[in-house]
Amino acid sequence: MRILAKAISLLLHPLLLPTYAFILTIYSNPFLFSSYENAKWIFVLRVFINTFIFPAISILLLWRLGFVKHLEMPEKEDRIIPFIVVGTLYIWSFMTFRKSDEPQLLNIILLGSCFTLFASFFTNIFSKVSIHAAGMACFTAVSLILTMQSYFDLRFMFMITLLLAGLTGTARLYLKAHTLREIWNGYFIGFASQMLAMQFA
């Protein structure tokens, strides 16, 4: 069970979720992306590099330089510098996408990720919060938005993302990485942040 919980935590790592959200958006909105042809997968590659590769390399460098004691960052103090670095990279990614001619939905996803990161950062100053839960709640909110806006019936997709969010929280609890309160705080932050991004993107 521990191996399964770790696998879930790895496959649904917060840094991967913006990429998954972009893929989900392209899959559920074929008409929106019909004019982009192969360019739509360039969007996915760009967001993967900007929101996963660059942040992952940055965190590894922070760990090697001694700014982070452990890659899993079990203590909230370990998360402060990574939050700032990754948050800066996410803002940069949002700004570059916003200045380009991409569909508005993609900007909403990235802005929601930025809001989630910085809300988690400020919460982390006072109390540890589950970034896995925050990321999955943000991802679930994206799925809900797509379900509400799509011409197709995407309720099954939404239920799957809801199930994955629950599995992620359960995995983090099983690994004793977080308390139940930290999980629920993460869920609230992620969902609220993505819905708030709908109003500002």
Q: How many domains does the chain have?
A: 1
Cα–Cα distances in Å, from 195 out to 115, 176, 187?
10, 29, 12
> Which letter does DSSP use for residue 77 in this model?
G
pLDDT (tens digit per residue) in 80-131: 889 999 999 999 999 988 887 778 888 999 999 999 999 999 998 888 999 9
Give the list of residues 6+ apart from residue 121 with CB closer than 8 angstroms, or none. Answer: 79, 80, 83, 84, 87
**The pLDDT value given to residue 52:** 96
pTM: 0.92
Residue ranges of the chain with pLDDT lower than 50?
none
Q: Where in the sequence is the domain holding 69, given as residue range(s)?
A: 2-28+37-200
Q: How many CB atoms sit inside 10 A of residue 159's CB?
A: 12
- Separation between Cα atoms, residue 165 and residue 194, nearest integer Å: 15
